[in-house]
């Protein structure tokens, strides 16, 4: 068996060809061409935001969004994320203040936020990790009380709704990623979504060098999405709902076949959330009698590629070590030690999922048996 952790979605070749044929008619390759505008509208409609600003990747969406808000000093954020989140804060000259997460869903713990607030704090930057909605109501209350901005990294959360509301509509603004490994993609790509016309106008300028008519009013960058990316985005979006349904079935299949394995925990899904099933994180707890790292290696030997997503915490990475020094963050550290993400992509079959679950059991039981033989349980 040879199974990858993920496999990017590719639309039927003909569909993509049909779409890019339009580029040969318009002779426009970049700079907000017709496909770009079509994709921007489609994302806006899908996420029910009044503003959508496409950019060439999710990271630059976050960097530009932070820049557009003229933040100062400190930003409270999570260390249990992809390094892009922390990089975007630091590259804007701001200091990330790392806050612990909730054990249940890996998102920023609102009960820990307030004690991190100082007179330098200007914003909170939570992440909807694995597409799990943050505690948006509580976070909003804290932000209002202390006059802070809230920026959501919704890179994982395209298509997710909470109580019928699209995730991208929470906080002051959110960013989406359309990277090839994300649930909906444009090869590389990203967007800022919000309901604030001023932020939107500013980001539209910043993604295009800061150009404002003949003048340049602030120092921007080139972060434009091109027509080929937009064409892939439109094709990918057309299949997104169907992909989500297929991945839901696969997650249910994993649940069914792993539920009887003590110490291996899947996330409890909330009834008021529509998930996008972008990732499948499991926790390998002490009860399992095997470490997460040993399970990863055991599966690797069988050709099943899983991932420690996220390990290490960003505050423990070499470039941020100074910032992470002395921080306890017990829930985040435990998650970084226990979480393994399993293969999940829409071409995966239920038989393959059953096979993966059997191999997980065989590695777990094998290790337990070895431990008994070694007298570890005496
Ligand atoms: C993927 C990702 C990003 C950055 O997106 P790109 O499109 O790859 O630049 C930001 N934050 C998180 C949490 C991500 O997973």
Whether residue 132 is predicted with pLDDT greater than 80 in this model: the reply is: yes
Helices and strands (DSSP H and E) totals, the chain: 12, 15
- The per-residue pLDDT for range 83-97, each reduced to its tens digit, is 999 999 999 999 999
| Ligand 1 centroid distance, CA of 287 (Å) | 33
**Using CA atoms, how far apart are residues 327 and 20, in angstroms rounded to an integer?**
50
- The per-residue pLDDT for range 267-325, each reduced to its tens digit, is 989 999 999 999 999 999 999 999 999 999 999 999 999 999 999 999 999 999 999 88
Whether the model pTM is above 0.85: yes
Cβ of residue 85 lying under 6 Å from some atom of ligand 1: yes
Task: Give the model's pLDDT for residue 110.
Answer: 98
Whether residue 147 is predicted with pLDDT greater than 80 in this model: the reply is: yes
Task: Give the model's pLDDT for residue 52.
Answer: 97
pLDDT band at 183 (very low <50, low <70, confident <90, very high): confident
Residue found by looking up tokens 């057309």 in the block: 238
pLDDT band at 49 (very low <50, low <70, confident <90, very high): confident
- The per-residue pLDDT for range 220-258, each reduced to its tens digit, is 999 999 999 999 999 999 999 999 999 999 999 999 999
The angle at the Cα of 192, spanning 186 to 195, to the nearest 5 degrees, equals 135
- The per-residue pLDDT for range 51-64, each reduced to its tens digit, is 999 999 999 999 99
The H or E element that residue 284 is part of is: strand 280-284
Task: Give the model's pLDDT for residue 375.
Answer: 75
The angle at the Cα of 138, spanning 150 to 59, to the nearest 5 degrees, equals 30
Task: Give the model's pLDDT for residue 376.
Answer: 63
**Using CA atoms, how far apart are residues 249 and 344, in angstroms rounded to an integer?**
11
Mean pLDDT of the chain: 96
| Ligand 1 centroid distance, CA of 197 (Å) | 24
| Ligand 1 centroid distance, CA of 38 (Å) | 23
Q: Which atom of ligand 1 is nearest to the CA of 188?
A: 7
The residue whose C-alpha atom lies closest to atom 7 belonging to ligand 1 is 58
| Ligand 1 centroid distance, CA of 154 (Å) | 9
**Using CA atoms, how far apart are residues 298 and 35, in angstroms rounded to an integer?**
46
Choose the residue to mutate in 60, 79, 82 for probing ligand 1, maximizing ligand atoms within 8 Å of C-beta. 82
How crowded is the C-beta side of 180, counted as CA atoms within 13 Å? Answer: 6
User: Sign of the CA dihedral 61, 67, 70, 71?
Assistant: positive
Task: Give the model's pLDDT for residue 238.
Answer: 97
**Using CA atoms, how far apart are residues 72 and 93, in angstroms rounded to an integer?**
8
Choose the residue to mutate in 63, 79, 85 for probing ligand 1, maximizing ligand atoms within 8 Å of C-beta. 85
């Amino acid at each position: 068996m040879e199974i990858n952790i993920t496999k990017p979605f590719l639309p039927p070749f003909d569909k993509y060809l049909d779409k890019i044929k339009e580029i040969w008619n318009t002779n426009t390759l970049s700079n907000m061409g017709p496909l770009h505008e079509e994709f921007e509208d489609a994302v806006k409609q899908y996420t029910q935001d009044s503003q959508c600003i496409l950019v060439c990747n999710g990271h630059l969406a976050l960097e530009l969004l932070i820049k557009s808000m003229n933040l100062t000093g400190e930003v409270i954020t999570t260390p249990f994320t992809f390094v892009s989140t922390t990089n975007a804060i630091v590259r804007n000259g701001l200091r990330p203040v790392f806050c612990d997460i909730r054990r249940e869903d890996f998102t920023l713990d609102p009960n820990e936020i307030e004690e991190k607030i100082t007179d330098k704090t200007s914003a909170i930057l939570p992440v909807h990790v694995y597409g799990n909605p943050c505690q948006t109501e509580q976070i909003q209350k804290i932000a209002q009380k202390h006059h802070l901005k809230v920026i959501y990294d919704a890179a994982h959360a395209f298509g997710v709704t909470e109580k019928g509301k699209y995730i991208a509509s929470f906080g002051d603004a959110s960013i989406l990623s359309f990277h090839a490994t994300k649930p909906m993609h444009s090869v590389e790509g990203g967007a800022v979504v919000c309901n604030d016309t001023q932020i939107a106008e500013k980001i539209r300028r910043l993604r295009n060098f800061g150009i404002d008519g003949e003048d340049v009013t602030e120092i921007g960058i080139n972060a434009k999405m091109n027509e080929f990316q937009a064409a892939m985005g439109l094709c990918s979006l057309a299949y997104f709902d169907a992909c989500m349904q297929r991945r839901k079935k696969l997650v249910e299949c994993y649940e069914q076949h792993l539920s009887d394995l003590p110490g291996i925990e899947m996330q409890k899904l909330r009834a008021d959330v529509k998930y996008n099933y972008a990732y499948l994180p499991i926790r390998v707890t002490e009860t399992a009698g095997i470490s997460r790292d040993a399970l990863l290696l055991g599966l690797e030997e069988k050709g099943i590629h899983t991932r420690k997503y996220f390990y290490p915490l960003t505050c423990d990475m070499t470039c941020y070590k100074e910032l992470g020094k002395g921080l306890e963050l017990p829930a985040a550290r435990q998650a970084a030690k226990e979480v393994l993400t399993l293969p999940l992509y829409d071409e995966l079959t239920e038989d393959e999922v059953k096979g993966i679950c059997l191999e997980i059991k065989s590695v777990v039981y094998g290790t337990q048996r070895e431990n008994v033989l070694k007298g570890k349980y005496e």
